[in-house]
Amino acid sequence: MPTYDALIRELRGRTAEIDASALAASLANGTRPVLIDVREADEHAQGEIGGSVFIPRGFLELRIEKVAPDREAPVVVYCASGTRSVFAARSLSELGYTDVKSLAGGFSGWKRAGLPWSAPQALRADQESRYSRHTMLPEVGLAGQLKLLASKVLCIGAGGLGSPSSMYLAAAGIGTIGMIDDDVVDASNLQRQILHATDRVGVAKVESAETTLRGLNPDVKVDKHRTRITADNALQLIGGYDVVIDGADNFATRYLVNDAALRLGKPVIHASIFRFEGQITVFPAAGGPCYRCLYPSPPPPEDAPSCAEAGVLGVLPGIMGVLQATEAIKLLLGLGETLAGRLLCIRRDEDALPRAQAAPRPDVARPAATASIARRSR
């Protein structure tokens, strides 16, 4: 059997290599290859070549197709000194990649040549553990998790919808969560508003929310706005956030949030609940319908009772709030297809059991003709 030295000599003889100066010229003239860093996390944390994609060697075969779907595109792999990248190049060739090179001398050679490099953004050791199930997803990865940590989401209301949505956003690592609510915790809230607890009855909801969210994830900053959103403060409150979670308990607030978000270009994730029924959609602020498109005018007050008047199944706002958090993460990371232009409904069937159905994509000009109004409460 060949020794390791014999094997690496053989592989080098069969693997195309590129030196640091040639790679720098390729990156500068616009004919840049897909540049893959196959070192380990502790090595990558010490620096990287700008524009490279970090895929530890052990995950290369699993993740490469997401990064380089075109097997004929030029690919350059690099490690610390140019040895592991030779093995990586061989693996890519076996997967059908036809133009793969290894960086001679690796990252060490790149630095010795005096070429530019940067210290990558990185997670702390405790964050690597906390978010490991995110970062192992190719669609999220380290870059996606860092983006979540830098994101800001505003929750209108710390009630039935704001509770599950904010908790899952905090768990996901959203860096800043704003909570707008002027109410205090009441015992009747606890059947569905899981942000709060029995020993916090009488405490301001935004204070209770901060206690829960920070207890769940100390990475999260909670902006407490103990107020109602009004025409005087809407633009200021919404303007500092990337996405708005609408958990308002009245139509006037929903229209106000819609109008302010449109003016600021902020997407709104709308959800509503009533007894056993719920609905959710996304108003993207550009290129899609808004709340006024769906509901040009509010219903009569007698057709829109609050949960205090009509009741609500306690788990229902949990379902809708989790869906709101899901849509927020999709927007922040650019993943998949959002519910923009569509209305997802949970409706009570003849057997009084909730069932989910997706309404057809509404016509922006006439959505109200096909959409029934679902009343909302916290």
Q: Which two tokens stand for residue 261?
A: 């978000």
Residue with tokens 């606890």: 190
Of 79, 155, 290, 307, catalytic: 307
* Sign, Cα dihedral of 202, 197, 211, 205: negative
Q: Is 345 a catalytic residue?
A: no
Task: Give the Cα separation of 311 and 324 in Å (integer).
Answer: 21
136, 77, 145, 135: which is closest to 107 by C-alpha? Answer: 77
Task: Give the Cα separation of 322 and 30 in Å (integer).
Answer: 43
Task: Give the Cα separation of 56 and 58 in Å (integer).
Answer: 5
Q: How far is CA 347 from the centre of its chain?
A: 27
Contact between 134 and 147 (Cβ < 8 Å): no
Exposure pattern of 107-134 as b/e (b: 16+ CB <10 Å)?
Answer: bebbbeeeeeeeebebbeeebeebbeeb
Task: Give the Cα separation of 366 and 295 in Å (integer).
Answer: 10
How many Cβ atoms from other residues are within 10 Å of residue 173's Cβ? 23
Residue 205 burial (CB < 10 Å; 0-12/13-18/19+)? buried
Task: Give the Cα separation of 162 and 273 in Å (integer).
Answer: 12
How many Cβ atoms from other residues are within 10 Å of residue 235's Cβ? 13
Which H or E run contains 53? strand 53-54
Task: Give the Cα separation of 359 and 271 in Å (integer).
Answer: 14
Residue 130 CA: distances (Å) to CA of 146, 183, 211: 13, 32, 19
Active site residues: 307
